[in-house]
Amino acid sequence: MFLGGTISTPPASLRLRSTLNPQNAVTQSSSQATFPAAMQRKPPSYSISDEDLESRGFILRRTAEGLNLDQLNSVFVAVGFPRRDTAKIEVALQHTDALLWVEYEKTRRPVAFARATGDGVFNAIIWDVVVDPSFQSCGLGKAVMERLIEDLQAKGICNIALYSEPRVLGFYRPLGFVSDPDGIKGMVFIRKQRNKK
């Protein structure tokens, strides 16, 4: 995940290989595209069902309503991200196209989070994928990612990318992400820091 700040090496870029290819779409006279029956999206099959998550005390949220930004910031810090200005987090959320977070019912705190920005039609980038360390290894990261990807694909977005630290690339590959697809390389502009006097 690319979060800004000082970067010593460019982050690895991953891109989701879409199962829906708009070039295979059949154009209708109303200028809308439909996919052949063999390519129609099937109902999502999640590794953990919504009902199972709920039975374990987790509530899925798809809007920022009720999200305590100070608590979210604490999760960011707990996984090693820099503490952020909550006013800037609020602005970022206003410019977010899709998000999903998990609230733990007993504490009413966010324990997992991910969001995506993009053009709303062709491209999206997933940012800020985090799971509170106390809740890691119980499937919440995968649950959030599966649903966020499904939400983006339901909007017809075929090109989904993310930035990731090299140590967690293996988490994203089983979800359909590949590094440097077809030799495509990502690039990141890094602003040079001026020496402060």
Catalytic site residues?
Answer: 172
Residue 42 has a CB neighbour count (10 Å cut-off) of 6
- The amino acid occupying position 137 is S
The whole-angstrom separation of Cα 112 and Cα 28 is 41
Residue 23 backbone phi and psi in degrees, to 5: -75, -15
The whole-angstrom separation of Cα 48 and Cα 144 is 10
Q: Report how far Cα 82 is from the mean position of its chain's Cα atoms.
A: 18
